[in-house]
Amino acid sequence: MYRSLIRWSWVLWVCGWACSTQAQMNGNPRGRVLDALTREPIVGAKVIVEGIPGGIYTDTLGRFIVPVAYAARDAALSIRSLGYAEWSGGVPDPAVELLVLLEPAEHALSTVVVSASMKEVSKDASPIPVEIYTPRFFQKNPTPNLFEALALVNGVQPHLACGVCGSGDIHINGLEGPYTMVTLDGMPIVSGLSTVYGLSGIPNGLVERIEVVKGPAGALYGSEAVGGLINIITRDVMNAPRVYADIFGTSIGEWNFDGSIAARVRKVHTLLGVNYFNFQQRRDINGDGFTDLPLQQRLSLFNKWRFDRRSDYWASVAARYVYENRWGGQLAWAPEWRGSDSIYGESIYTHRAEIIGKYQLPIEGRRVMLDVSWNAHRQDAAYGNTPYLGRQQVAFAQLTGNAKVGVRHDLLWGVALRYTEYDDNTPATEAPDGSGRNLPARTWLPGVFVQDEITFNTRHRLLVGLRYDYNSAHGSILTPRLSWKWAEDAHHILRLTAGSGFRVANIFTEEHAALTGARQVVIAEDLKPERSWNGNLNYTRKFFPKRAGFIGLDASLFYTYFTNRILPDYDTDPDKIIYQNLRGHAVSSGVSVNADVNLLNGLKINAGLTAMRVYRVEEGKRLPILFASPLSGTWATSYPIKPWKLTLDYTGTFNSPMPLPVLPNDYRPDRSPWFALHNVQATKEFSNGWQAYVALKNLFGFYPRQEVLMRAFDPFDRYVDVDNPNGYTFDTAYGYAPVQRQRLLVGIRWAMR
């Protein structure tokens, strides 16, 4: 496999060199647009050339090309991008690439965000702290999906919930996946049943940027936004490359392709995207007889349209379809053993369809937006000899309005309605009368919210928000939010945020351990909604040394207090998972620090550290929360070797020992060891938007040496009474890190405007 990858890398390199040479021969004037402070490429900047209607837009590398026919006119050229001062000059000489450094505007020294307050606002001006991550950040450590990519975000931990089929969720500041709301273009697309495998089905090529809000967001987004929000902003059809392709393969047999085509027909812009991922090698480096990674075949199709009636009013609609076939289990498993008790395997077929629509109403002097979405998720799974057939559809509609009242008040209001229908073949949807009838769960969740952002002066800004929801199963729920922002200038910003959130649990869609067949699920009572109270103190400090570039520091203190928390009890009975509301409370608290260093020589360092204490209190006893690492960190370092057009990246994560789910008298450690995952990459840039890259993942080859699967030799628990005094049973929930050694990755990327 290594030889095959080396041959492919040589072919890709030659192809890139040939395209580079051809582009230079064409003689088209070209340029590159970078942020003057951070030296990051500015994507989607508008390049206005005299005589070219509509202008030109920079690609994902910040590059643009002026057609040679217009260069001969010696036309004027200007470059504009939101949040930056305009640059003006002439069309560049075809023999030399023009380098343009855009200076951030005084009123907006950072990117525009929408997640904090459901409207476009400068990141620095937002009263709510928001973290922004672009595709370039994730390209420093190439991954086939968003789930793996988020590992580089400080305080965000992709957690593998099952050591067999590779299901997972996203933890923010130690809180389990169900406490994180994941939205697509601001709408609750990934929720309920889709949280189990849905994140692995979102390709990185679909993403324009990701906004992360840590802490209370329930006053705007409602249920599930308890511990944080991850808002995935899909590519803008207006600024997307005309053609985009990214393909890579790894030495263990993974192949991933991302591609898209953008076109314009009169005033209608469209973007068609495709992602394909394939992995079919049965690997078992720890010798337990089970696959270390689930075998997967996944196809995702995405199409987005934008309709412009006038410059002020527009509408867009997008659709996506995902199909995935994955399985993991004993090496001898084959499809004919699916659902049987002969050879253990976990086989999951997933079909998913999504539709998203946005419409700006033509109301003069008011910004009124209508957001609608619908998704259907069907899962056909067999966990050993336990079948699971789940179906879910979620319909969502939201109307929001934004208006200025006087000079101080900026009002945001909204009404929302979410309908969720869920059905499966488990006791979760059985009629409560004991008749055995199937009774699908249908939940209506209407809500209204209002928010006022009050500007007292240039230093002080206060945000007050309140949301009311009525859950058809649990009644009325209020979620307030308060945020205060103080800014001495662009160099010092202090934010204090507090609020409340709620969540209604769906056991069978959120706890994969309940589906493996390894334990029996017991719901001990009528579960009540969880409530949380959050507080966050954030301080941002920016330095602009003349001879250094830019240095940014961001620090946060966070605290979350839970009541009615729903936790799985693995300890009372080794054969059961018992669910009930917590008699007591739970706490997640800690500190998070991020550093961003961008030097004039091109060196970029992003590093983060999170220290936290996460626990629950029951009957006066303090107990740990599983998989919550008290100390964790991330780093991403890049350095360009400009004469060679080569960029070197070094990324990684580390975790301190975290509590693990062990059985009574378990011989496995109840805590993980200290461990770190290191990655290195070299990226070669060619002309005309081509890149070739080579990476080595998990540089030092860490993987769990402990027995990740309990009693892997007896997955159907046939011999639990034989030489087993402690009554151990097959269990898949112990994994805390991927079971993978070093692997080589080779890829090529191309963007054409």
Which pLDDT band, with edges at 50, 70 and 90, does 309 fall under? low
Place of tokens 């961001």: 554
pLDDT reported for residue 117:
67
Distances in Å between the alpha carbon of 2 and those of 6, 246, 264, 430, 682? 6, 20, 42, 52, 17
Question: CA 96 to CA 105: how far, in whole Å?
Answer: 28
Cα three-residue angle 304-309-312, rounded to 5 degrees: 95
Higher pLDDT: 329 or 220? It is 329
E strands, 504-547, where? Answer: 520-523, 530-543
**Average of pLDDT values for 57-80?**
74
* Contact by Cβ (8 Å): 531, 562: yes
Predicted confidence band of residue 219 (pLDDT cuts 50, 70, 90): low
pLDDT, residue 109, reads 38
Task: Give tens-digit pLDDT for 540-593.
Answer: 998 877 666 778 899 999 998 888 877 666 567 766 667 777 778 889 999 999
Of 175-179, 238-242, 374-378, 731-735, the range with the lowest mean pLDDT is 175-179
pLDDT in the model for residue 19: 47
Q: What is the pLDDT of residue 10?
A: 45
Lowest mean pLDDT among 41-55, 232-246, 551-565: 41-55
Domains of the chain with CATH codes: 2-102 (2.60.40.1120), 127-136+231-289+302-432+456-708+720-752 (2.40.170.20)
pLDDT at 525: 67
pLDDT of residue 716: 92
Q: How far apart are CA 64 and CA 44, in angstroms?
A: 10
What does the pLDDT read at residue 570?
59
Higher-scoring residue by pLDDT: 115, 603: 603
Dig out the tokens for 459 from the structure.
């230093």
User: What is the per-residue pLDDT for 519?
Assistant: 52
Using CA atoms, how far apart are residues 554 and 121, in angstroms rounded to an integer? 19
Collapsing DSSP to helix, strand or coil, 10 comes out as helix
Q: How far apart are CA 373 and CA 234, in angstroms?
A: 14
Q: For 470-500, what is each residue's pLDDT tens digit?
A: 988 778 888 898 999 998 776 789 999 998 8
State residue 402's pLDDT score: 86
When pLDDT is cut at 50, 70 and 90, the band that residue 30 belongs to is confident
pLDDT higher than 60, residue 53: yes
Each as own residue / partner, the long-range contacts of residues 579-584 (CB below 8 Å, 24 or more positions apart, any chain) are 579/505, 579/507, 579/521, 579/522, 579/523, 579/524, 579/527, 580/523, 580/524, 580/525, 580/527, 581/525, 581/527, 581/528, 581/530, 582/616, 582/618, 583/618, 583/619, 584/616, 584/617, 584/618, 584/619
* Entry pTM: 0.81
Beta bridge partners of residue 459, listed in sequence order: none
Q: Is the pLDDT of residue 9 over 70?
A: no
Cα distance between residue 417 and residue 310, in whole Å: 29
Our CA angle for 61, 65, 68, nearest 5°, is 165
Residue 127: pLDDT over 90: no
**What's the whole-number mean pLDDT along residues 436-450?**
87
